[in-house]
Chains A and B, each alone.
Chain A
Amino acid sequence: MSPEAAKALSQTNFTTIDTVIVVAYLSVSVLIGVFVRKYATNMTAYIGAGRKVGPWLGVATMLGTEMGLVTVMYSAQEGFTNGFAAFHIALIAGFGTLLIALTGFIVVPLREAKVLTIPEYYEKRFSRRTRILGGCLLAFGGILNMGLFLKVGSMFIVGATGLSDQGWALPAVMVTLLVLVLIYTTFGGMISVILTDYIQFVVLSFGVLVVTFLAISKLGWAPILTTVEQLKGAAGFDPLAEGSYGGWYVAMMFITAGLVGSAIWPTAVSRALAMESTEAVRKQYLWSSVSFTVRFMIPQFLGICAFTYIMANPEGADLKPLFSSEGGEQALSNLYALPVFVGRLLPTVVLGLITAAMIAAFMSTHDSYFLCWSSVITQDIVAPLKKNGLSEKGRIALTRTIVVLIGAYVLYWGLFYKGSDNVWMYMSVTGAIYFNGAIAVLIGGIYWKRASSAGAIAALIAGFTAILGLEPVREGLRLPFSGDQVAVASVAASILAMVVFSLLMPDLSETEEKQ
């Protein structure tokens, strides 16, 4: 890195006082995890918080989980790259969640079924084989999906604290944050996750509101709109305009952000399954339609502000060569645009609080994801395969061990994955490995009486073709399609497989089985 670039990146208002604020916050989170360890005595308590979560706490924990630092970073990247056209993702997500709140689509029947995980429902409705296959695909897609969380989240911390030019900083922050999350998640399970989520919600929500207010005050509305208009043109406002996202991408958003994000994605659904009643689930989703809009829209807007600051504001002029791709390759990933902007925008103390808020966002997502995937492996893969069953203590111990193993994988993947897909695209494609099949299996299982086990298994296998959309796979096989085209085609294949195989190979009725 050139000396000019290093100098530009090290300019931040982050001081020792901010470090103290961040350390104090992290200590409180870890202590909560240790404190609630006494409650995690059975699996319902460990992975479902005893199904005693009230509606408002449900809203808090839903946003705490779903607005992770990785969400903030990739949404800001979308705003930086595509301007206001990125808002379509937020609007589709909010509208989709509102529809689910009003209809109870998928989540209410799942809560009524009293299951702890989605594959557990597969067994209740279809067969044990469906549960194990569904569990394997869910865990594989989900763990792959969170592969970049640690790295991208840590990029925010080093960017905001002015350490981006230090080679040692990124891996050091990754290891430290990972260890802290692992401690309180393994100790307290879902109970500590939900309690820390509440604190994280409060810090994060007030934090992003303050940053947004300060960003608008600093840059002004008119310059933000004018900069996007001048430098991006119509593509900065219309997702279907030439040079913007395009029809395939928007179609994929209706599936991923509109339906999957709130009703199919296991970390969101696990919140619904932990609620005290179906009424509480509906109330949780009603308010979450706001938070599901905001979790994309505010970071996207901050990405637009970072773009305006770097490209058009005199104070950010020294950063322009680093983030501009004119005359060759961009010197610095545009993921760094938001943290560098925030590091310069916010005064000391406020910056410490916001960094704590972002770390809160980071931790609340990691803990939930660790717990979700590990509990699926324990409950839906290992336990059903074990002939003598697993004791409650054995399940909790196994879940804790898997949490640590997933943590090790995330560290490895963050350090060594070399794909150049943007982060949101990477997450959509990896998530699709699970959810493309799950869409057909859940909707078919809940709303179509003739859906059969053979149809469910065929749908899950067809959904797995989403892996062909991942950049290294596409390049290896020299496929002439984009990731979003593969994802949409894979959903269609999965639904078709469910319908065809259910009609061709229906389940035997109880009378037929007896004969």
Chain B
Amino acid sequence: MSWMFLVVLAVFAVMTVLTTYHGAHDVRRLLRSLDEEQDNPDSSDQSDDTSA
């Protein structure tokens, strides 16, 4: 029980560090792309939902 819990904890700690670091890059990319979309509205990935 103990080792299983510690392994899960260790993997989660690694994931937290990786996600914090790379997630910050993704945030910047998302904001940049939303800014570009505001300047050029035709480039947006709109929904196909035209049914209503």
Contact = CB atoms under 8 A, between A and B. Distances in A.
B23 A56 contact: yes
Interface string A438-467: 000000000000000000000000000000
A112 to B, nearest CB: 11
A116 B1 contact: no
A48 B15 CA distance: 25
B12 A384 contact: no
Interface in B1-52: 1-2, 5, 8-9, 11-13, 15-16, 18-20, 22-27, 29-30, 33-34, 37-38, 41, 44-49, 51-52
A248 B34 CA distance: 48
Contact of A291 (B12, B26, B34, B51): B12
Interface SS of chain A: helix
B34 A198 contact: no
A45 B41 CA distance: 11
Contact of B12 (A54, A120, A221, A290): A290
Contact of A38 (B12, B38, B46): B38
Contacts of A120: 47, 49
A128 B52 CA distance: 10
A225 to B, nearest CB: 7
Interface string A290-304: 110110011001000
A384 B9 contact: no
Contacts, number: 124
A408 to B, nearest CB: 26
B38 A39 contact: yes
A63 B48 CA distance: 28
Contacts of A237: 1
B52 A209 contact: no
A114 B30 contact: no
A114 B52 contact: no
A56 B26 contact: yes
Nearest to A43: B47
B52 A383 contact: yes
Interface SS of chain B: helix
B30 A57 contact: yes
Interface residue tally of chain A, by bracket?
A: 35 or more
A389 B27 CA distance: 34
A191 interface: yes
A390 B52 CA distance: 7
A205 interface: yes
A6 interface: no
Contact of A53 (B30, B37, B52): B30
Contact of A56 (B8, B11, B25, B37): B25
B33 A44 contact: no
Among the interface residues B9, B12, B38, which one has the most CB atoms of the partner chain A within 10 A? B12
Interface in A349-403: 379, 383-384, 386, 389-390
Contacts of A384: 51-52
A241 interface: no
Among the interface residues A43, A45, A58, which one has the most CB atoms of the partner chain B within 10 A? A45
A198 B27 contact: yes
A268 interface: no
Given A44-B44, A383-B52, A198 B23 contact: yes
Nearest to A124: B48
The 6 closest A-B pairs by CB, nearest first: A54-B26, A57-B26, A56-B22, A383-B52, A205-B16, A56-B23
10 contacts: A39-B37, A41-B38, A51-B45, A52-B29, A53-B26, A55-B22, A195-B27, A198-B24, A205-B12, A237-B1
Interface of B: 1-2, 5, 8-9, 11-13, 15-16, 18-20, 22-27, 29-30, 33-34, 37-38, 41, 44-49, 51-52
